[in-house]
Chain A
Amino acid sequence: MNKLHELTIHQARALLEKKEVSSEALTRSVLERIDAVNTSLNAYITVTPDDAMAQARQADEVISRGETVSLTGIPLAVKDLICTQGTRTTCGSRILENFIPPYDAAVIQKLRRAGAIIVGKLNMDEFAMGSSNEHSAFGPTRNPWNPNRIPGGSSGGSATAVAADMCLGALGSDTGGSIRQPASHCGVVGLKPTYGRVSRFGLVAFASSLDQIGPLAKNVTDCALLLNAVAGYDPADSTSVPQPVPDYTGFLSPDLKNLTVGIPEEYRSTEGLDPDVSRAVTAAVEKIKQLGAKVVPVSLPHTTYAVAAYYVIAPSEASSNLARYDGVKYGWREPGTETLMDMYRHTRAAGFGQEVQRRIIIGTYALSAGYYDAYYGKASQVRSLIIEDFKKAFEQCHVIASPVAPTPAWKIGELSDDPLTMYLSDSFTLSANLAGIPGISVPCGFSKEGLPIGLQLMGSHFAEGTLLKVAYNFEQATDYHTKKPKT
């Protein structure tokens, strides 16, 4: 048998149910694994071992009474921008370093009801702004496949923890690719659900019209199990959608006939597309075709403008959302200032890191008098055209296939002073956030240097089931998801 922390969620569920393994032993194994590798990988900002072991013992009692529910006794971890009552939630920022939420986020309430054990809070780019996890006030997370490489971001801690068996599954958040891109770079499965599928109540806001919580998992089955647990309408999030949640594991069946995969013509000419990525994704599409799907070309004519529209809309929303960090209600207050205005300005300058300050400035500029129409107004119109592109494309196909990221994981430090190039690395993922559609990253190969590569599948609103089905069929026909980093 595998070491316990190496189990997948569905394997662990079966063993717990048969009482061949206790949640206490499973959770202890995960905590020991964290102890062994977190110093080098820096995936966790906070670990809560005592609380986790207490929950595990309770879970074992629940199991012994035969009252097991969907995730009873399964050790999970969540990105550190999801509020956990009584456990600090930092957002990877100095400004929230000691913030203890007085309530649980909706997804945490749901995970607890599903019986899951939360072992800790995962590292991230500060306020989810970044594609590399280098913008964390708690130091960069390292890629378990090569510690000199970035794990991707902003849910880099989540992807690293799942890939390195430091939890059985994790939650991240995705505003422009922040689940899918690190999943791709770390060789795990990551799903960004449809906007409104999962409640954002208790998710610290970055860009409210783009943010969405989703699972990162060791394989597609686990991903479906986690989505089952967190999806659904929540009256506390007025943008969550009152639509019934199907059992996503019901989509994991071997049948791709009558399925059409669209390949956007515009993605072929992407500048800077790495040849290894291109080869792996082309081979993956060929494999899906062999499994019975039809492949057709589609067109997303406004693709070239997605990055520009995103880097107006996301910073604009961020500049507004982050106005709440004022040194009054919670978080850091810079000492020694005399007037209110000085307190605000010094507190925010000391509390926010460089990337966050840069985006606040861009957003404030784009929304300021005289520039609003030229920037935010224009970008919001281009957003409408991007949504139209997807609507037309999904008249011709069920899913769209593409790379997740144009290159495998880059070296730590390589782009840290080049924000624009880093923004361009999100070019395949951020359109899905602008359009509110779901997207999944599933492992589809390795670069010559041995770094994981992900295939992205995008679907129309609420087509998570179809994405999981295609990803599952591809996964079952390949062995990339069985490969493990040597860490």
Chain B
Amino acid sequence: MKITKDEVLHVAKLARLKLTEEAMEKFSGQIADILDYVDTLNQVDTSGITPTSHAISLTNALRDDEPVAHLNREDALANAPEKKDGAFIVPKIIGDHS
């Protein structure tokens, strides 16, 4: 499987990463090598095999619906790069089509 620079650019956009031209060059080659290697998985016959997402099978972990202590607002905001009036501040969202 080859991966083009355009595809890397598209995926980088999905991943919210602004790649430099240099990183793009380097990554498309390295990622193509890694995907080539990963393609060896196609040698395995997996028809009828149930996929595994967790190695230890557990049923849903439920707890009683009782309120418990949790992070207070001040602690939750303590690491925020920008905050105001008890809220996180973000750049303008409306009208952003990039």
Contacts and interface: CB of A to CB of B under 8 A. Distances in A.
A233 B81 CA distance: 35
B90 A340 contact: yes
Nearest to B48: A381
Contacts of B75: 102
Interface string B76-98: 10111110000010111100101
Given A311-B34, A340-B92, A380 B53 contact: yes
- Report whether over half of chain B's contact residues are helix, strand or loop; otherwise say mixed: loop
Interface in B26-84: 27, 30-31, 33-35, 37-44, 46, 49-56, 58, 60-61, 63, 71, 75-76, 78-82
Most buried by A among B37, B60, B91: B91
Given A339-B92, A343-B91, A423-B34, A377 B51 contact: yes
B73 to A, nearest CB: 11
A436 B57 CA distance: 10
Interface in B3-45: 3, 7-8, 11-20, 23, 27, 30-31, 33-35, 37-44
Interface string A185-205: 000000000111000000000
Given A340-B91, A362-B31, A384-B52, A368 B58 contact: no
Contacts of A333: 81-82
Contacts of B54: 195, 209, 239, 436
B67 to A, nearest CB: 15
A348 B40 contact: no
A338 B93 CA distance: 10
B76 to A, nearest CB: 7
A378 interface: yes
A328 B88 contact: yes
Contacts, number: 179
B98 A383 contact: no
Nearest to B7: A365
Interface size range of chain A in the complex = 35 or more
Most buried by A among B16, B40, B43: B16
Given A311-B34, A419-B34, A420-B34, A364 B15 contact: yes
A332 B79 CA distance: 10
A382 B55 CA distance: 12
Interface residues of B, number: 56
A342 B98 contact: yes
B96 A340 contact: yes
A340 B56 contact: no
Most buried by B among A319, A323, A362: A362
Contacts of B31: 358, 361-362, 365
A309 interface: yes
Nearest to A365: B11
Given A311-B38, A343-B91, A423-B34, A361 B11 contact: yes
A345 B17 contact: yes
Contact of B81 (A328, A341, A344, A345): A328
Given A339-B96, A357-B17, A435-B55, A308 B79 contact: no
Interface of A: 98-100, 102-103, 194-196, 209, 235, 238-239, 241, 302, 304-305, 307-309, 311-312, 319, 323, 326-333, 337-346, 348-349, 352, 354, 357-358, 360-362, 364-365, 368, 375, 377-385, 387, 419-420, 423, 434-437, 461
